[in-house]
Amino acid sequence: MSSKENNINFTDTFLFMSNSFDFEQFKAQAIEQLKAGVPLSGKDGVLAPLLENLLNSALEGEMDSHLEGGEREYGNRRNGHMSKHVQTSMGEITINTPRDRDGTFDPQVVRKREKILADSLADRIIGLYAIGNSTREISDILEEQFGNRISAETISSITDRVLPEIQNWKNRPLDRVYPIVWLDAVHYKVMDEKNRPVTRAIYNVLALTTEGRKELLGMYVSKSEGANFWLNVLTDLQNRGVQDILIACVDGLKGFPDAIASVFPETTVQLCIVHQIRNSIKYVASKNQKVFMKDLKLVYQAVNKDAAEKALDDLETKWGEDYPIVIKSWRDNWERLSAYFQYSQHIRRIIYTTNTVEGYHRQLRKVTKNKGVFTSDTALEKLVYLAFTRIRKKWTQPVQNWGQTDQQLAILFPDRFKILA
């Protein structure tokens, strides 16, 4: 039973109920129903009529107290009732809220727009929503389990309870330094203001803390990316307390290098090698792909930057005439593609690809895969946030070999990253 169902002035309420509720009749009916196998709670449950009368009587008592507080002296009086169906831990009940002529009565036992009184039921709805169930599916599940069918509108309003939590999470303070940050996007279809399906991107900023644990710093819904967008994202991180990012791993995000240079000028930007390889192989004839990949591997798996540049020269000599666009792409992006060569193997394995954040996105898609089109940006953000809260429960341990990695970072960045106070 929820706190709302418990916090009732039972003395006054039972006095009121004595005139309107036949306890002996209720007791006799309840015994017969229990003998017939009727459950205590749920649809047509034994206890639902008792709770219904209890709450309605409490509301009548509230109205009496309201009118006795000087309202009658100014001509205010009762003006009928407003009925609504309310879900409780004992099943669905009908609430008849008394009204007054002046409309000043504000009931507290059951608030005016309240449709759910059982906190456990609301938590169950949010939990079902968090694993990707639609409002229709949730309604079907609750009807099967509890005998209650709840409208899609009510379910949506219940899941809206998470919106203040999302806002607080977005505004929470962050750590001063993050050694490694990945930035990438996941795309969804959302109905726009004209009721047309459009593509929306959620850009996620996933980091490793100084203890080596994953932390999602923020998620940002956007129609497009560019330098201005990334400037706003990075400024938001800065305003929430981030003073330094050692290494940022990205997948060729438009406008990101210029934006991060203006906010965190000392940050090393590493472009994702895996994405660069995928983009390269698309332009290579299938008959040559196996040999080309063997030669390309000598570039990105080289022991150091000098050896990698020598292998890139050899790659151009051999394949430059056949695939000039591919070679040009590696040349144009070389400084950010090759940034990882300055680090040890432990750090290289972490930063040379955005696989870490892509792994997070794969977990999100397991929840969102059945969603064709979201009704709004808010609906998208609600589900993705709730999915994230379930995923982050596993982010309790440092990543593999963090003990060695953080020592190496402390040596490489002695003034920016300290592991001992």
Q: Are 66 and 211 in a shared domain?
A: no
What local confidence, expressed as pLDDT, does residue 385 receive?
Answer: 92
Reported for 221-226, long-range contacts at CB under 8 A and 24+ positions apart, including other chains, are: 221/377, 221/380, 221/381, 223/198, 225/185, 225/201, 225/253, 225/254, 225/255, 225/256, 226/254, 226/255
What local confidence, expressed as pLDDT, does residue 13 receive?
Answer: 45
Euclidean distance between CA atoms 260 and 317, whole angstroms? 35
Domain's final residue, options 83, 117, 151: 117
- Please check whether residue 50 lies inside any domain of the structure: yes
Domain's final residue, options 68, 96, 117: 117
Q: Where is 403: in which H helix or E strand?
A: helix 402-412
Query: Which stretches of 75-134 are DSSP H helices?
Result: 119-130
For every one of its 421 residues, what pLDDT tens digit does the chain have, with 9 covering 90 and above?
A: 444 444 444 444 444 444 555 556 655 665 565 556 555 555 555 567 767 776 787 788 778 888 886 677 778 888 999 998 887 766 778 888 999 988 888 887 677 877 776 665 677 778 888 888 888 888 888 777 666 677 777 778 778 878 899 999 999 999 999 999 999 888 899 988 888 999 888 999 999 999 999 999 999 988 777 778 888 999 999 999 999 999 999 887 778 888 888 999 999 999 999 999 999 999 999 999 999 999 999 999 999 999 999 999 999 999 999 999 999 999 999 999 999 999 998 899 899 888 899 999 999 998 888 788 888 888 899 999 999 999 999 999 999 889 889 999 999 999 999 876 5
Residue 68: give the domain boundaries: 3-117
Going 39 to 40 to 41 to 45, the CA torsion angle's sign is positive
Q: Are 10 and 113 in a shared domain?
A: yes
- Please check whether residue 303 lies inside any domain of the structure: no
Q: Are 197 and 93 in a shared domain?
A: no
Place of tokens 């592991």: 419
- Please check whether residue 308 lies inside any domain of the structure: no
| Residue 155: closest CA among 171, 174, 133, 135 | 135
Domain's final residue, options 117, 150, 168: 117
Q: Are 98 and 11 in a shared domain?
A: yes
User: What are the DSSP calls for 254-295, one per residue?
Assistant: TTHHHHHHHHSTTPEEEE-HHHHHHHHHTTS-GGGHHHHHHH
Render the burial of 334-366: b for 16+ CB within 10 Å, e for the rest: bebbbbbbebeebbbbbbbbbbbbbebbeebee
pTM for the predicted model, two decimal places: 0.72
What local confidence, expressed as pLDDT, does residue 287 receive?
Answer: 95
Number of H-type helices and E-type strands within the chain: 19, 7
- Please check whether residue 108 lies inside any domain of the structure: yes
- Please check whether residue 307 lies inside any domain of the structure: no
- Please check whether residue 260 lies inside any domain of the structure: yes
Q: Are 109 and 182 in a shared domain?
A: no
Structure tokens at 318: 């051999």
Q: How far, in Å, are 234, 405, 407, 412 from residue 417 at the CA level?
A: 20, 12, 9, 9
Q: Are 8 and 99 in a shared domain?
A: yes
- Please check whether residue 213 lies inside any domain of the structure: yes
Partners of 86 in the β-ladder: 93
> Which amino acid appears at position 294 of this protein?
K
Q: Are 263 and 398 in a shared domain?
A: yes
Q: Are 26 and 104 in a shared domain?
A: yes
> Which amino acid appears at position 311 of this protein?
A
- Please check whether residue 34 lies inside any domain of the structure: yes
Q: Are strands 268-271 and 244-250 parallel, antiparallel or unpaired?
A: parallel
| Residue 374: closest CA among 364, 362, 382 | 382
Euclidean distance between CA atoms 86 and 4, whole angstroms? 13
Domain of residue 215, CATH code: 3.30.420
If one counts the domains in the chain, the total is 2
